[in-house]
A and B are shown apart, each in its own frame.
Chain A
Amino acid sequence: MASAPSKQYSDDVSVVMVLLDTNPFFWSGANNTTKVSFSSFLNHVISFLNSVLLLNQLNQVVVIATGYNSCDYILDSSTSESINLSLGNGKMPALCSKMLQKLEEFLIRDEQLSRENLPTGITSSLLSGSLSLALCYIQKVLRSGRLHPNPRILCLQGSPDGPEQYVAVMNAIFSAQRSMVPIDSCIVGAQHSAFLQQASYITGGVYLKPPQLDGLFQYLSTVFATDLHSRSFLQLPKPVGVDFRASCFCHKNTIDMGYICSVCLSIFCQQRKKCSTSDTKRNSIEIYNHHLLPVAASG
């Protein structure tokens, strides 16, 4: 679809990047903890995607699947293939069939990858990967000229956070903050996500954990469908207060005051002569991952 140069973008045209959690470990156990199955979840999401496209002719949606072993684009409404297909058999809306087909391919590939390397008890999905992909795509949108649609990210997350992704997720959050891209999050799992609470808080997005997942579409359409400009007129869920304290590397206690190494930024709760982290040259990324997670998720 060649975009005419005269295309006028006003402040209500959006590109919505939807990050879809497809983690099989979450959805297979989902029936016990939550009341929504993957297929009904998809029903809600597809209706939501269609309603975003309905709101404005120039709106775009891009769906990225956040899997257990990989991440990939599964829908881009701006490409021609997703539009042309509407001339097909007419039984299923084009958007839906194309996306479901790609999603299925993705899930099969993801499963094959997990056969190669058996899960080691980690059940988180690769949020850092899909956030990074979404931000790369958004940069392409921002580069596309002076008039570009307003990008935003919506994370539909169910799996618990993976602490090993902490640094990568924070990098993505700060990059989104610089580009003024809000990260909205809708939690469909049982637990709050400390990553996404921070992400939405720092980037000025909306964080929501719907209490009734049967009405997921209603939550999605009332809270997350509106463009950024109209948000200022709505009463959206208030940002949750995030506790930005840290925990020390030595005892893993949450601390108010601590000692920080000037070279490697390790945190200790007691004064000591030397920093053990930089002394033993254990400067690996793992030790940083656990200690700066927000302490308690309130709200």
Chain B
Amino acid sequence: MNYFTSNHVEERRVAEEKEEEDDEEVNDNSMEVWQKEYAEDRSWESLQEDESGLLHSIDNDAVQHAQYRRRLRNLSAATAASRIQKGLIRYLYIVIDLSRAASQNDFKPTRMAAVAKHVEAFIREFFDQNPLSHIGLVTIKDGVAQCITDLGGSPDSHIKTLMSQSGCSGDSSLQNALDLVEGYLCGIPSYGHREVLLLYSALTTCDPGDVMETIKKCKRSKIRCSVIGLSAEVFVCKHLCQETGGSYTIALNEFHFKDLLLEHAPPPPAIAEFAVGNLIKMGFPQRAAEGVVSICSCHKEAKVDGGYICPRCKARVCELPTECRICGLTLVSSPHLARSYHHLFPITPFEEVSLALLNSSRHRLTTTCFGCQQSLVPSGNRPNLRVACPKCKQHFCLDCDIYIHESLHNCPGCESLRHSQTI
């Protein structure tokens, strides 16, 4: 009998699988794969007709829009910069929802794959901007939160673990995730900024207790919780972000998701309680002498060249920044500190040159972008847009504007003038 039932179960499972396959086939048959791609992308919607009847893609507008948004953010940062206090040493847990909802394919190929791809880019960007910070990864699956990487400063180990995650199932649980992260973040030193970033696919949360209590606990522990939703706004997430001072955003599509995610890379304004400077002990290791064989403390291997020597315990580490495995001293080099300085001295946002000024005095204005020498004279139907630095009054094209504010953090015009620097 036993034999029979197990067979029966097997049969049923096979039948189910067949049904599922059939379902998929029905979907596939109604539309070819290539058709599907176009149907979902709706590429024709991103075309625009100009006055001469030519078709243009409207990504131009998207660029301008993104720039506009960034400018607003800069402005708000500038007002806050009157007292430049930013959380430069951050301890961030990224919580990735791998519940059933993450297998939906409104993001291609699935939400999970799209999230993994962009989280990888985010981790690299994060460490580029915050070399003294740490990240940990947590996943929610089957209602259980699990820590997949501990807080650490090496992007590669996080990305490797993240990429090895597969499959999503079960429900999502906000409370379990917050409880777990709160437990970990409690122990970190007080100068660090505790942050949680939830990438939440589900519309529900399946909790063992009262999630509101957990939110209060997070607030007490001064953990800044931010959520990026992939489906729709959920009250409990909004409440969480409001209570803990984080931001709650909903991704409209994959590009929007990427933008929203990368907005979390620059350091957030410091919470007032932390504005008092704490002094942290750090070491500036010297490079190991050439040709000396030593055993490195991170890989436990004998290595010949390169590497750095911890000034306190003389152990060898392979790369900076890191924490010494032996004595726990934070090891940095001066460029790592320098990398964070642009957060302390943000460059002033450029102002758009008004059309009135352009029209009234076109003959006196420069015809090329000061940065890249690109022509600023409108040609054909390209809109005549340019920006000017309020300090040095040089004109720049929009591409340079974005590059200068997002990557370079120097105004070429101000840097090319001696007297503006002596002020």
Residue numbers of A with Cβ under 8 A of B are 68-73, 76, 113-114, 116-117, 120, 126, 128-130, 132-133, 135-137, 139-140, 143, 164-168, 170-175, 178-179, 198, 202, 241, 243-246, 255-268, 271-272, 274-275, 277-279, 281, 283, 285, 288, 292-294
Contact = CB atoms under 8 A, between A and B. Distances in A.
Interface of B: 83-86, 88-89, 128, 191-192, 270, 274-287, 290, 311-312, 329, 333-335, 337-342, 344-345, 369-374, 399-400, 403-404, 407-412, 415-419, 421-422
B249 to A, nearest CB: 25
Contact of A275 (B277, B284, B342): B277
Contact of A271 (B89, B279, B371): B279
Contact of A133 (B279, B284, B345, B416): B416
Given A245-B286, A257-B283, A171 B329 contact: no
Contacts of A129: 412, 415-417
Given A171-B409, A244-B335, A136 B400 contact: yes
Contacts of A172: 408, 410
Given A128-B410, A256-B311, A272-B279, A262 B191 contact: yes
A70 B416 contact: yes
B376 to A, nearest CB: 13
A49 B395 CA distance: 29
B74 to A, nearest CB: 16
Contacts of A274: 276-277
18 contacts: A69-B417, A69-B419, A113-B418, A126-B418, A130-B416, A132-B411, A136-B371, A140-B373, A165-B415, A173-B335, A243-B287, A244-B335, A245-B284, A258-B282, A261-B279, A262-B192, A263-B274, A292-B338
B345 A167 contact: yes
Contacts of A265: 88, 337, 340-341, 344
Nearest to A262: B191
Contact of A117 (B283, B341, B419): B419
A275 B84 CA distance: 14
A164 B421 contact: yes
A257 B281 contact: yes
A231 to B, nearest CB: 20
Nearest to A170: B338
A259 B277 CA distance: 11
A175 B407 contact: yes
Given A71-B412, A132-B415, 10 more contacts: A126-B416, A128-B415, A132-B412, A132-B416, A136-B369, A136-B408, A165-B421, A198-B335, A260-B280, A262-B191
Contacts of B371: 132-133, 136-137
Contacts of B342: 167, 171
A271 B83 CA distance: 24
Contacts of A243: 286-287
Contacts of B284: 244-246, 255-258
B408 A202 contact: no
Contacts of A258: 281-282, 284
Contacts of B369: 136
Contact of A257 (B270, B276, B329, B340): B329
Contacts of B370: 133
B283 A256 contact: yes
Contacts of A164: 421-422
A146 to B, nearest CB: 16
Contacts of B286: 243, 245, 256
A166 B400 CA distance: 22
Contact of A260 (B279, B333, B421): B279
Nearest 6 pairs of A and B residues by beta carbon: A136-B371, A275-B277, A129-B416, A244-B333, A256-B311, A262-B191
Contacts of A166: 338
Given A170-B338, A244-B284, A261-B278, A68 B408 contact: no
Given A71-B416, A258-B284, A259-B282, A171 B408 contact: yes
A253 B281 CA distance: 16
Contact of B341 (A126, A139, A170): A170
Contacts of B192: 262
Given A117-B419, A130-B416, A258-B284, A178 B128 contact: yes
B281 to A, nearest CB: 6
A136 B88 contact: no
Contacts of B88: 262-263, 265
Contacts of A120: 422
Nearest to A140: B372
Contact of A168 (B281, B287, B374, B410): B410
A262 B283 contact: no
B26 to A, nearest CB: 39
Given A137-B371, A272-B279, A260 B337 contact: yes
Given A258-B284, A285-B345, A167 B407 contact: no
Contacts of A246: 284, 334, 337
Contacts of B275: 263, 278
